[in-house]
Structure 1
C-alpha cells in the first residue's frame, strides 16, 4: 500500500495539461476540399471565465514518449505474437489489422512491462489491453486475473461486452461492478471468483468497505490492473475519484507484484507522474503516445462554430438539427449540466425530433435502454452530459453539437471524438455565446487547429431562426419547463411518487 500511496502524491493542485504546438499538419488529399482558413471573429473577447493555461511536459518526460510507431505498416496481429485463437476472435469482429496504439503496446504488455498508452479517440485502446490480458490469462487461468477501472458506467458496460466478445472461444467469466444495480447480487458474483472484473471505482470501493473478506479476497491476487480513461480517474479537484481509487488499490497487489496499464486519449501530468512512482523489481514503464502530437482530434473531423446570442441558443439548436444537411444525421448534443440536458430532451421531443437522453439524473436501467435506442438508431439524437463523452464507441455518429462549450479543452477532445472514429468522416458544431470566446481560443490552442464558421449551401441559419424558430421553440420550451415542474416524464405521464411542490399556483 505504501507504494500505491505514492501514486497520489503528485495529484494535488490544479489540473494541467501538455501544451501542443498549434502548427497545422500538411493537408491530406482527403482534406483538400475542406476550408481551413481561420474566419474573422467579430465576437467580443471579454470573458469572466479565464481559459486554462497549460504547462509543457518536462523535457525528461517528453523523451520517454514515443510520438510515432516505427513498425512496418504491414504488421499483423500474428506478427505481434498474438495467439491464433485471439486472431480468429478478432477476425470474427472484423478487426484484422492492428492500429498504431495496438502495434506499440501489445508486444510490450506480453513481455510483462507496465504501460502508459496515449492515443486519440477511436483508435482501439480497449483492444490494446484486452488482447494481451486474455492471452496471458489463457496460459494460466485463475480468478480474479484482471481488474479494469473506468470512470463511467456506460464505458464499463462497453468494455464488459468487448471482453465477452473477444473471449468467445474460451470460457472467460467477466463480471460488471457498477452503480445503479443490486449490490448484493454483485457481491455474490465477486465471491464466485470471476476472471476479469470491470468496475467503476465508487462501486468497487463500496464492496471493499462493506462486502466482507470472503467477497474481496480474490482481488488480492490479481495479475493486471487497468486504468481506462486514466486522466479522468487520476484527476484531482472537485468530483475527484482519487479517494475511491485509493480504497481499490488498498486491496490490490502492490505494483511490484502486478502489471499496471494506463490508457487515455489525453496523457496528463497526473498520468505521467506514475512513471516516477517507486516500483521495486519491475522494469521501466513503457510510455507511448501515438498520433496525439500530430492530431489531438480525429484527422477527418471538420470542426465548426456558430455564433449565437445566449438568449436564443435553443432556437439555433433546433434550426441546426433541421437543416437539409443535418436532418438525417445521427447526432450527439453535449451539455455541461444535467438540468440543461433534461430541458432540451423534453423541448426537442415536443418539436418532433426523435431524441433520447443520457446523464446522471436517469436511473441506470433508463441509461442503458436510452443508449441502446440510440445505437439501434431508434432515436436519431442523443442529448447528454460528459458521461457520454469518454470511450463510447458508436460508429454511426455523424455530428456532435456542443450546446455548452466545455470549460476544459480535454473534455472537448473527448466529446468530438464520438464522431469521425476509425478513419470515418465527421463534423462538430460548437455554439459560441459572448462569454465563451476565451474557452474556444483555449480549445483551438489545445487541438492545434482553428474552428471554421459553420456553412451550409443555400441555408442561412440566422434567417431560419428569425423566420421559423423563435415562436415555436419558445412555446415548446415553456411547455417543457411546466412538464418538468409537474413531475411528468418525457412522454407526459406523471412519474410514480412525484409530487407537485407546495405553494405553486398553476
Structure 2
C-alpha cells in the first residue's frame, strides 16, 4: 500500500489497541485513521479468526465502501470476508450476506438498524459476538440525527463483555468526550495536537475569489478552464443537490469532463461517479457534503467551495480532500456579498487568513464565459424541469445524464 512509516495517530493508537484498550483517536482528515484501527483489528483477527469479528459504523455510504477497500487491501492474504451494509442496495441480498457470518461488517447505522428490526435473529446473531466495535467519524455519528438508529445498533453489541470500542474522528467533540467519561473502562485518548491546532495542513494553499452571486457559474467555468487549472482534478462543493445537478449539466455543456455525487442520485450512480472520478474518466467531481468526510481520492489537486459552508468545521472537512498525506493541494472559495461573515468565521477557526486568488480576471470572465454559461444554465434548468414533469422519455433522459 506504499505506506513506508506510520503517521502520528497510528504510532499512538495501534499499540494501545493491541493491548486490548478502548480507544478514542482524533486527527485531521488524511492522517491515516482508517489504518490505525484496521491494522490492529486484522492483527487480532489473525490470532483467533471466527464469525463476525468487527463491526464498523460510519455516517455515509461512500465512506463505508472506502473502508471496505482498505480492509480488502490490508487483509488480502487472509481470506477475509466482508459485508457492506448500506442504504440503496438490496435488503434481501444483504440479509443473506449477514447470515453467512462475514468477518468484517461495515455499515451505516440506518441500514443496519433496519436489518436488526426486520431481518430476524439469523441475520444479526453474529453481531452479538463481535470483538471490535468501531465508530468512524464518531463526532457525526454522535449527533441527534443518528441517535435512534445508533442506539438500535448498539443494543445488539452492548452485551459483549470483552468487546473493544474504538472511536475515530477528525474533531473530538463534547459528545465524544462524554462517551469516554461514561465508559466503565479506562479509555485511551489521543488527539494529534499539532493537527488539531492548525486544522488544515501546511501544504494546503487557501484562497478566495470575491464575486457577485449571480455570476458564480461563469467564474467556475473560467477557473476550471484556465491554463493553470485545465489539467487539474478538482472537487467542487455545493450546499444543495439541485445546485450540483445544474453545475454538472453546465460543465458538461462546456466540454469539461464532470460527474456528480449527492444524496438525490441512486447508490449505483454514486458508486459509478466515484469510480469515474478515481479512474480520471471525469476530471471534476461536483458534490455536496456527502463527499466531504473520509473519502481518500489521491489525485485531487484542488477543492473549490462554490457555496461557502455555514459551519467552519465543514470547510475543514471539505478542503481535507486535497493536500493529504503531505502532498500539496489548493482550495479556492467563492465569496459573494452574503458570505463575508462565514469566511471570517472560517479564517478564525483555521487560524490563518486566505489569500486573494488573482488568476481569474473579471474582464476575461465577462468577455469569454458570461453569455455561453448563462445560456447553458438556462438550458440546464429547463431540462431539469422537463424531466421532473415527465416530459423527457427515459432513453433521452439517460443520454442527457
Take 2:17 and 2:274, find their aligned partners in 1: how far apart are those partners?
A: 32
The equivalent residue for 2:84 is 176
1:391-406 to structure 2, matched below 5 A, reads 391-406=294-309
Take 1:497 and 1:328, find their aligned partners in 2: how far apart are those partners?
A: 30
User: What's the CA shift for 1:301?
Assistant: 0.2
Structure 1 counterpart SS, 2:196: coil
1:383 and 2:286 equivalent? yes
Which of 102, 117, 121 lines up with 1:209 in the alignment?
A: 117
Which of 199, 207, 218 lines up with 2:126 in the alignment?
A: 218
1:349-360 to structure 2, matched below 5 A, reads 349-360=252-263
| Superposed structure 1 runs of 4+ greater than 6 Å apart | none
The equivalent residue for 1:55 is none
Which of 147, 154, 163 lines up with 1:249 in the alignment?
A: 154
The equivalent residue for 1:429 is 332
1:307-318 to structure 2, matched below 5 A, reads 307-318=210-221
The 8 Å contact of residues 130 and 163 in structure 1, kept in 2 or not, is answered as yes
Which of 276, 282, 298 lines up with 2:181 in the alignment?
A: 276
Take 2:393 and 2:51, find their aligned partners in 1: how far apart are those partners?
A: 46
- Measured against aligned partners, the alpha-carbon deviations of 1:401-450 in whole angstroms (never above 9, x if no partner) come to 00011111111111000000110000000001111111111111111111
The equivalent residue for 2:237 is 334
The equivalent residue for 1:451 is 354
The equivalent residue for 1:51 is none
1:476 and 2:376 equivalent? yes
Take 2:227 and 2:392, find their aligned partners in 1: how far apart are those partners?
A: 33
1:487 and 2:387 equivalent? yes
Which of 26, 33, 43 lines up with 1:125 in the alignment?
A: 33
The equivalent residue for 1:441 is 344
Which of 230, 246, 250 lines up with 2:138 in the alignment?
A: 230
The higher relative CO (CA closer than 8 Å, separation ≥ 6) is in 1
Aligned residues: 394
The 8 Å contact of residues 304 and 454 in structure 1, kept in 2 or not, is answered as yes
Structure 2 counterpart SS, 1:418: coil
- Measured against aligned partners, the alpha-carbon deviations of 1:5-28 in whole angstroms (never above 9, x if no partner) come to xxxxxxxxxxxxxxxxxxxxxxxx
Structure 1 counterpart SS, 2:229: coil
TM superposition score normalised by structure 2: 0.95
Take 2:224 and 2:311, find their aligned partners in 1: how far apart are those partners?
A: 25
RMSD over equivalenced CA pairs, Å? 1.6
Task: Give ranges in structure 1 of 5+ residues lacking alignment.
Answer: 1-92, 499-506
Take 2:240 and 2:150, find their aligned partners in 1: how far apart are those partners?
A: 25
Take 1:196 and 1:220, find their aligned partners in 2: how far apart are those partners?
A: 13
Take 2:266 and 2:196, find their aligned partners in 1: how far apart are those partners?
A: 39
Structure 2 counterpart SS, 1:122: coil
Greater mean alpha carbon deviation, residues 269-278 or residues 306-315: 269-278
User: What's the CA shift for 1:376?
Assistant: 0.6
The 8 Å contact of residues 152 and 200 in structure 1, kept in 2 or not, is answered as yes
The equivalent residue for 1:465 is 365
1:5-404 to structure 2, matched below 5 A, reads 93-236=1-144, 240-254=145-159, 256-279=161-184, 282=185, 284-290=186-192, 291-404=194-307
Take 2:357 and 2:211, find their aligned partners in 1: how far apart are those partners?
A: 12
Take 1:363 and 1:275, find their aligned partners in 2: how far apart are those partners?
A: 37
TM superposition score normalised by structure 1: 0.76
Take 1:266 and 1:462, find their aligned partners in 2: how far apart are those partners?
A: 38
1:252–1:131: structure 2 CA closer, same or farther, 3 Å change rule? same
Take 2:368 and 2:206, find their aligned partners in 1: how far apart are those partners?
A: 26
Which of 314, 321, 341 lines up with 1:411 in the alignment?
A: 314
The 8 Å contact of residues 407 and 439 in structure 1, kept in 2 or not, is answered as yes
- Measured against aligned partners, the alpha-carbon deviations of 1:133-182 in whole angstroms (never above 9, x if no partner) come to 01111111111110000111111001111101111111211111011111
Take 1:147 and 1:413, find their aligned partners in 2: how far apart are those partners?
A: 27
Take 1:381 and 1:252, find their aligned partners in 2: how far apart are those partners?
A: 41
Take 1:196 and 1:377, find their aligned partners in 2: how far apart are those partners?
A: 30
- Measured against aligned partners, the alpha-carbon deviations of 1:90-120 in whole angstroms (never above 9, x if no partner) come to xxx1112111110000000000111111111
- Measured against aligned partners, the alpha-carbon deviations of 1:188-228 in whole angstroms (never above 9, x if no partner) come to 11011111100011100000000001110111111110011
The equivalent residue for 2:323 is 420
Larger Rg: 1
User: What's the CA shift for 1:292?
Assistant: 2.5
